[in-house]
């Protein structure tokens, strides 16, 4: 099977599934995946599973890259991307949520000149109200940062051009936020991104996401979104807030006591420091995304 994308003919497709103890889901998913994409290279990246993942992959004649211990979802994505031979990479979860039939829709959109196409889940496909609200906030923030409509920042179902994706492997975290990082990296580098609506099914088995610990991690994603795309958009408002607080405190103490307090000076100093950190971060970001000539 061949696709013509952006003028370049791509003769091979690689489908990468990170999996940790997802044997029950893979037993049903892999045959469906092979039926939907019979010519594709299918790679399951076994992230330190203790179940029968490797045996299931062998029975389905699917490549299995096994790790002796768990390194994280993002680490599995990176290992799979390095090992894949296809000119187009499709990433999907190994827990049975993603429908293999949607791959054709992602590839069809990719053919229209995009470098990344993401399967965007609707509200009914979110894993609970809390996750749905969090993803809505992420999408809104990413849209404001990039100036482009972001329909699903954290979806793990996506098709990408392999050469473009590998440019950012060094930026991807080993944990669960690789979709956020890769999406923002593509926007930052002016690689076109599109979204295709999908329905995600109920996962098979128990989720590996822990609400309390990962809730803090998801909050950090918000800051990561800003620092990945344009740090000044985060640091300038924060600097302005410190300046306004310092000015307000100064007006209050001047009118009541006729003096400038240390607190006002401290807040103004913080304002300058935060602004300078933002400038340095902006320069680092520019260097990070500067392509080799």
The tens digit of pLDDT for each residue in 98-107 reads 999 999 999 9
pLDDT in tens, 248-281: 999 999 888 888 889 999 999 999 999 999 999 8
Contacts of 127-131 with C-beta under 8 Å, sequence gap 24+, read 127/203, 127/207, 127/209, 130/211
Query: Is 121 found in the same domain as 244?
Result: no
Model confidence at 6, pLDDT cuts 50, 70, 90, reads: very low
Residue 281 has a pLDDT of: 87
Residue 207 has a pLDDT of: 53
Task: Kindly state the average pLDDT of the residues 208-217.
Answer: 58
CA distances from 130 to 42, 127, 156 (A): 33, 8, 18
Q: For residue 42, is it within any domain?
A: yes
Q: For residue 293, is it within any domain?
A: no
CATH code assigned at 70 = 3.90.550.10
Task: Kindly state the average pLDDT of the residues 166-190.
Answer: 88
Partner residues linked to 160 by β-bridges = 89, 116
Query: Which range has highest mean pLDDT (65-79, 122-136, 198-212)?
Result: 65-79
Query: Is 112 found in the same domain as 18?
Result: yes
Name the DSSP letter for residue 12. Answer: -
Q: For residue 262, is it within any domain?
A: yes
Task: Kindly state the average pLDDT of the residues 218-240.
Answer: 80
Task: Kindly state the average pLDDT of the residues 10-19.
Answer: 85
Greater confidence, 281 or 33? 33
Report the length, in residues, of the chain: 293
Q: Give how many domains the chain has, as a whole number.
A: 2
Model confidence at 215, pLDDT cuts 50, 70, 90, reads: low
**Helix (H), strand (E) counts: the chain:** 10, 9
The residue range of the domain holding 252 is 232-288
Residue 90 has a pLDDT of: 97
Residue 213 has a pLDDT of: 60
Question: Is residue 16 over pLDDT 60?
Answer: yes
Query: Is 275 found in the same domain as 199?
Result: no
Q: Which SS3 state, helix, strand or coil, does residue 257 take?
A: helix
CA distances from 10 to 3, 5, 13, 109, 179 (A): 5, 7, 8, 15, 23
Task: Kindly state the average pLDDT of the residues 69-75.
Answer: 91
Q: Is 225 left (phi over 0), alpha (psi -120 to 50) or beta?
A: alpha
Residue 125 has a pLDDT of: 57
Query: Is 15 found in the same domain as 154?
Result: yes
Greater confidence, 182 or 131? 182
Q: Which SS3 state, helix, strand or coil, does residue 126 take?
A: coil
Chain centre to alpha carbon of residue 1:
28
Q: For residue 95, is it within any domain?
A: yes
Nearest to 285 by CA among 240, 226, 236, 237: 226
Model confidence at 202, pLDDT cuts 50, 70, 90, reads: low
Share of the chain above pLDDT 70, in %: 85
Residue 204 has a pLDDT of: 61
Name the DSSP letter for residue 160. Answer: E
Residue 94 CA to residue 97 CA, distance in Å, equals 8
Query: Is 254 found in the same domain as 155?
Result: no
Query: Is 240 found in the same domain as 209?
Result: no
Joined together, the tokens standing for residue 40 give 């594709």
Q: How confident is the prediction for the chain on average, in pLDDT?
A: 85
Residue 280 CA to residue 214 CA, distance in Å, equals 29
Residue 15 has a pLDDT of: 97
pLDDT in tens, 105-117: 999 999 999 999 9
Residue 236: CB atoms within 10 A of its CB come to 16
Residue 288 CA to residue 184 CA, distance in Å, equals 13
Helical axes 211-229 vs 262-288, angle rounded to 10°: 80
User: What's the predicted TM-score (pTM) here?
Assistant: 0.78
- The residue among 202, 226, 250 that closes a domain is 226
Q: For residue 153, is it within any domain?
A: yes
Residue 13 CA to residue 87 CA, distance in Å, equals 6
Chain centre to alpha carbon of residue 10:
24
């Amino acid at each position: 099977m061949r696709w013509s994308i952006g003028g370049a003919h791509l003769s091979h497709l690689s489908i990468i599934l990170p999996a940790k103890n997802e044997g029950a889901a893979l037993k049903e998913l892999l045959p469906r995946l092979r039926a939907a994409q019979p010519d594709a290279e299918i790679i399951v990246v076994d992230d330190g599973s203790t179940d029968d993942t490797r045996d299931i992959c062998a029975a389905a004649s699917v490549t299995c890259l096994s790790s002796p211990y768990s390194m994280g979802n993002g680490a599995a994505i990176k290992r799979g991307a390095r090992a894949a031979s296809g000119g187009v990479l499709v990433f999907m979860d190994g827990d049975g949520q993603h429908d293999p039939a949607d791959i054709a829709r992602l590839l069809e959109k990719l053919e229209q000149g995009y470098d990344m196409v993401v399967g965007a889940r609707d509200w009914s496909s979110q894993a609970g109200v809390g996750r749905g609200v969090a993803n809505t906030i992420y999408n809104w923030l990413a849209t404001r940062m990039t100036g482009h409509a972001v329909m699903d920042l954290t979806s793990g179902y996506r098709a990408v051009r392999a050469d473009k994706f590998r440019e950012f492997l060094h930026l991807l975290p080993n944990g669960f936020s690789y979709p956020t990082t890769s999406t923002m990296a593509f926007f930052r580098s002016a690689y076109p991104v599109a979204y295709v609506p999908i329905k995600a099914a109920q996962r098979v088995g128990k989720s590996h996401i822990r609400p309390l610990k990962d809730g803090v991690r998801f909050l950090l994603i918000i800051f990561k979104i800003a620092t990945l795309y344009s740090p000044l958009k985060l640091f300038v408002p924060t600097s302005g807030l410190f300046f306004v607080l310092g000015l307000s405190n100064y007006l209050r103490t001047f009118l009541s006591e006729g003096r400038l307090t240390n607190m006002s000076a401290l807040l103004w100093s913080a304002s300058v420091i935060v602004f300078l950190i933002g400038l340095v971060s902006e320069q680092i970001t520019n260097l990070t995304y500067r392509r080799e000539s």
